[in-house]
Amino acid sequence: MSQSSYNQVWKDAMSELSSLLAEELPPVPIPPQRDRVVFFQRLATLYVRYVQVFRQLEEAHNMLVHPQKRRLILLLLKGVMGRVLELKYEMVEKEFSEYHYVDDILHALKLTPPALEIPIPYFFVGERSKETEERKTMVLDVLNLADGSKDLDTSMDKVMTEAEAIKIIQMVERAWQGRIRAKLNKDVRFSNFDRRHRAKSAGSAFNELAAIRIQKIWKGYLQRKKTRIARDEEMIFLGMVMDPKYQTPLQAEIDAQAIDTSIRVRQKKHEEVYLNAIDAILKQIRELEWNDMAKTMKNQIRQWFYECRNTTGLFPDYPTVEEGGSAIIFAEKTPQQLVEEIALQEEEAASKSKAKGKDDKKAKDKKDKGKGKGAEDDDEGLTMMPSAFLSELEVANKRYEEVWKTRNESENFTQIHEVELIKEEMRKIVEEEVRLQVDEEMREELAELKLAVDKEKPGKQKGPKKKKGSKGGKKKKKEKDLTPDRTLESLCEELVQQGLLKRAKNFRMQDFLGDYNYLGTTLRQNDIEPMPSLLDVRQVLSLYGILPLGAPEVHEKAPLIKSILLVGPAGVGKSMLVHAICQETGATMFDLSPYSTAGKYPGKPGLAMMLHMVFKVARLLQPSVIWIQDAEKMFYKKVPKDEEQLEPRRLKKDLPKCLKLIKPEDRVLIIGTTKGPQNSDLKSMCKMYGKIILIPRPDYGSRYILWEKLIKKQGGKITNALDLTSLTKVTDGYTPGQMVQVISSVVTKDRINDLTKHPLTADDFIVPLGKFEPVLQKEEEALKSWYAKTPLGKRRIKAAAEKEDALLKAKDAKTKKKK
């Protein structure tokens, strides 16, 4: 696609965004909605439409090369990301579920399920600042150095145990016996063949019989080959099988990849030229226009002095720096209005502190009254929560309509920067610099005028009164720095040596394969809560984990998520998702799992030092992910005897305290993973983790995709001999981790070389699968019943019970009317 095509994508996205802003910011406020279903439908529709705008803006920002356009698109993109997260938060609060099924909305908007996929913007990792890149490079150097020393140690100092030695001797002995047995079988087989051959080769009848048999086999082979070719051609013609020529990368695909690479190069080149142009134009404006700006400002301020003198009879007080200085003078207001506005600001500053105490008291009373009344919103009606991103989106949309919507770029074929736009922006910066200097000079001139005309002696100018802190208010304790004299590099080296700072494995969110839950809407309509599909889990974690960590502006203003707990059977991909989040956002990974912290930093002072170092480095190297594997061990009701040495509960009290200290500007996310949460204290675990995500075993559609994609990734070929449908049906309950192990054991290098003669069949995978135990329906139901006891699960059960009660009351009312 050309640059004009991507400009059209941006234009379409802005058209949809304008209509969305018009709906969300109408001239007359939208009245509260009493029907929860209708309100959720409106939320879900907005969510789906914003996701489409997000996808279009991400594509435009990724492929356009114009530096000024990309800056505006980036601003819009972050605003839309934040709005998507706000809508997701509201949908969870209204439907009491982390997963939503909106098939009717997709049908109405003529979209398919892949349209709900959350894209991961390229700029998260591809366009990081130089400072961030330097810090990440330093961490990688420390990790590489540690890996090199470990390899050296293991190669020189590794000692073989007695069990390992016995295992090797047994393996060698069995191999020798196998070779002897194979040689004996070979000799016996050849001796029998020679005997039969000598007996049959006596007469000429044998030669004729041999020729007929050879002809039979050859003709049968030729006919089977023709039949197979004809069948394959028919399947290709019917569209049931892909043509082999499309399975290899086409020249068009190779060219498209080359174009993408060239676009990245052009983006960097245009960005460098743009930054150099900013410096040059800023310097030029300072040299040529500084004096004229200062002279014009002084004349306007003097005119304001005299107009105020003529209107009020006195010279005005000059606005302070906190009030905006001369900036409020240049607003389109009369001198009388300006004097009144300054007086009002002083009165408001004085009265605000008095009113604040009363408001806090009212809010507290209202909060106390509202406790225990879950249906209060339903009585008054449901309304949208205030957004922190709509105002920014409105400003950016206005900027687009003023500058880019009708701009003629027919002559800007190379898509370089617009010089006039840079001058407009730089003039504003220079005007602010000039205004600060002019304000100092004009304050002195005003004092001299007052002394000469009004005989008023210069005194200290009254500024806005400082707010006095309430006596009863508690001061927040600042976190003490236990390592003030240590460098970041030395802290990283120590954490790496202790095994608390680790390298994230190279996984991506796209590697977490699965299919959509096509029955979700139908099941919910029948009051059956469906288990989420693996693709639903991927979408939720992209929203909760990747988008906030990738953009600081989104993390600061969007609903804050400090911790996530991933719950699911072993092998469903919990650890893989943690590594994928780190890779997609470029996050530094810390490991505070019980096995990683066992025996390290003993005692209370040691524990405090360990947590301090981890969170200090995590803030300095943000975005950061703190991973706690086997998170249930931290909240054990009773520690098993074989795990007492681990001291799994040593972080139970101190880690939640550190969690509270995470602020919106700290892009630090704690992710726990567990396969057996039933053994832990549910209340403490729910306090620790703000979001609990249940990951199920794969359903039929996800298993089919997993078998197909994983076999191809390993180097195998899918042919008609491999019945994927039956294999998928038979492997119900097996996890993706078990499938990966089975495929890696079956599709080896020797087996790949032998695929032309012996293609893969479903039988090849059945025997290795027998070594693993599948996840039974009972285990999944146990996890589901545990999840129902979490705060969100309880709220959903309560809402379902209220709905049933309402239906029963409606039926009773109808029967009474009939009587």
d(C-alpha 242, C-alpha 238), whole Å = 10
pLDDT for position 53: 92
Reduced to 3 states (helix: H, G, I; strand: E, B; else coil), residue 564 is strand
pLDDT for position 368: 46
**Ranges of H-type helices in 590-676:** 594-597, 603-620, 654-660
pLDDT band for 520, please (50, 70, 90 cuts).
confident
pLDDT for position 4: 82
Question: Residues 706, 711, 717, 721: is their CA dihedral positive or negative?
Answer: negative
Report, as an integer, the average pLDDT of 134-155: 67
Report, as an integer, the average pLDDT of 458-471: 48
Res 193 pLDDT > 80: no
Q: DSSP assignment of 722-777, as one string?
A: S-HHHHHHHTTT--HHHHHHHHHHHS-HHHHHTTTTS---THHHHHHHTTSPPPPH
Res 80 pLDDT > 60: yes
Report, as an integer, the average pLDDT of 230-241: 84
What is the CATH class of 701-774?
Answer: mainly alpha
pLDDT for position 85: 92
Q: Which residues lie below 8 Å from residue 320, measured CB to CB, with a gap of 6+?
A: 461, 463, 464
Instruction: Kindly list the strands in the beta sheet with 691-694, ordered across the sheet, starting from the edge strand earlier in the chain.
Output: 501-502, 588-591, 624-629, 668-674, 563-567, 691-694
d(C-alpha 205, C-alpha 208), whole Å = 5
| Residue corresponding to tokens 């406790």 | 371
CB 514 within 8 A of CB 568: no
Nearest 5°: phi and psi at 588?
Answer: -85, 135
pLDDT band for 54, please (50, 70, 90 cuts).
very high
CB 36 within 8 A of CB 91: no
The residue among 498, 484, 625 whose CA lies nearest residue 561 is: 625
Res 366 pLDDT > 60: no
The residue among 736, 749, 735, 741 whose CA lies nearest residue 765 is: 741
Q: DSSP assignment of 266-331, as one string?
A: HHHHHHHHHHHHHHHHHHHHHHHHHHHHHHHHHHHHHHHHHHHHHHHSSPPPPPPTTTTGGGGTTS
Q: DSSP assignment of 125-178, as one string?
A: HHT--HHHHHHHHHHHHHHHHHHHHHHHHHHHH----HHHHHHHHHHHHHHHHH
Res 156 pLDDT > 60: no
Res 183 pLDDT > 80: yes
DSSP-assigned beta bridge partners for residue 588: 624
pLDDT band for 157, please (50, 70, 90 cuts).
very low
Token pair, residue 785, equals 């019943």
Report, as an integer, the average pLDDT of 172-191: 85
The DSSP letter of residue 647 is: -
Res 204 pLDDT > 50: yes
- Per-residue pLDDT reduced to its tens digit, 84-102: 999 999 888 888 888 888 8
**Cβ of 203: how many Cβ atoms within 10 Å?**
9
pLDDT for position 337: 58
Res 260 pLDDT > 60: yes
* Region of poorest pLDDT, from 373-382, 649-658, 804-813: 373-382
Length of the chain: 819
Query: Looking at domain 488-697, what is its CATH homologous superfamily?
Result: P-loop containing nucleotide triphosphate hydrolases (3.40.50.300)
Q: Which amino acid is at 668?
A: V
Higher pLDDT, 466 or 805: 805
Res 150 pLDDT > 80: no
Question: Residues 267, 273, 276, 280: is their CA dihedral positive or negative?
Answer: negative
Higher pLDDT, 219 or 799: 219
- Per-residue pLDDT reduced to its tens digit, 748-760: 888 888 888 888 8
| Residue corresponding to tokens 């579920």 | 97
d(C-alpha 217, C-alpha 204), whole Å = 21
Read off the pTM: 0.79
Res 473 pLDDT > 80: no
CB 680 within 8 A of CB 632: yes
pLDDT for position 464: 47
Average pLDDT, the chain: 81
Res 477 pLDDT > 70: no
**Cβ of 400: how many Cβ atoms within 10 Å?**
22
Q: DSSP assignment of 436-472, as one string?
A: HHHHHHHHHHHHHHIIIII-PPP-PPP-PPPPPPPTT
Question: Residues 763, 764, 767, 773: is their CA dihedral positive or negative?
Answer: negative
Counting Cα atoms < 13 Å in the Cβ hemisphere of 727 gives 27
- Per-residue pLDDT reduced to its tens digit, 316-344: 778 877 777 777 776 655 555 555 665 66
Parallel, antiparallel or unpaired: strands 624-629 and 668-674: parallel
pLDDT for position 48: 92
Report, as an integer, the average pLDDT of 646-652: 83
CB 695 within 8 A of CB 651: no
| Segments making up each domain of the chain, as ranges | 3-119, 248-345+411-455, 488-697, 701-774
pLDDT for position 1: 59
- Per-residue pLDDT reduced to its tens digit, 345-361: 666 666 655 554 555 54
pLDDT for position 787: 87
pLDDT for position 566: 92
Res 603 pLDDT > 70: yes
- Per-residue pLDDT reduced to its tens digit, 407-441: 887 777 888 888 888 888 888 888 888 888 888 88
| Residue corresponding to tokens 């900027």 | 399
d(C-alpha 320, C-alpha 442), whole Å = 12
d(C-alpha 13, C-alpha 284), whole Å = 37
C-alpha distances in Å from residue 110, one per residue of 105, 106, 146, 406: 8, 6, 53, 29
d(C-alpha 297, C-alpha 293), whole Å = 6
pLDDT band for 263, please (50, 70, 90 cuts).
confident
- Per-residue pLDDT reduced to its tens digit, 264-315: 888 888 888 888 888 899 888 888 888 888 888 888 888 888 888 787 777 7
